[in-house]
Amino acid sequence: MPKYVIEREIPGAGKMTPSDLKAAAQKSCAALEKLGTDIQWVHSYVTADRIYCVYNAANEEIVTKHANASGFPANRISQVFAIFDPTTSE
């Protein structure tokens, strides 16, 4: 299944408390349950004013459906074509 990085512009995201993050995760998971097995949330990174989410999904359309169902913005959806890390140099 293709992998996507979703950029979500959320002012003040870096100030979210553990309770806020838990509530956001619950909201996201509830939306995912309704969409079935064509989409899977891998993890997210929180910065000052953005959240970057990594998803495995059948296509970009279902990523957009998740954003609409969860109420979280999807300002940019980018398909990942390769992953590399320091071990790639070996």
Q: What is the pLDDT of residues 58-82, one digit of tens each?
A: 999 999 999 999 999 999 999 999 9
User: Could you tell me which of 42, 43, 50 has the C-alpha nearest to residue 16?
Assistant: 50
The CATH number given to whatever domain includes residue 20 is 3.30.70.3090
Range of the domain at 43: 3-83
Number of domains in the chain: 1
Q: Examine residue 90 and state whether it is found in any structural domain, yes or no.
A: no
**Predicted pLDDT at 41:** 97
Q: What is the pLDDT of residues 22-67, one digit of tens each?
A: 999 999 999 999 999 999 999 999 999 999 999 999 999 999 999 9
Q: Examine residue 50 and state whether it is found in any structural domain, yes or no.
A: yes
Q: Examine residue 88 and state whether it is found in any structural domain, yes or no.
A: no
pTM: 0.92
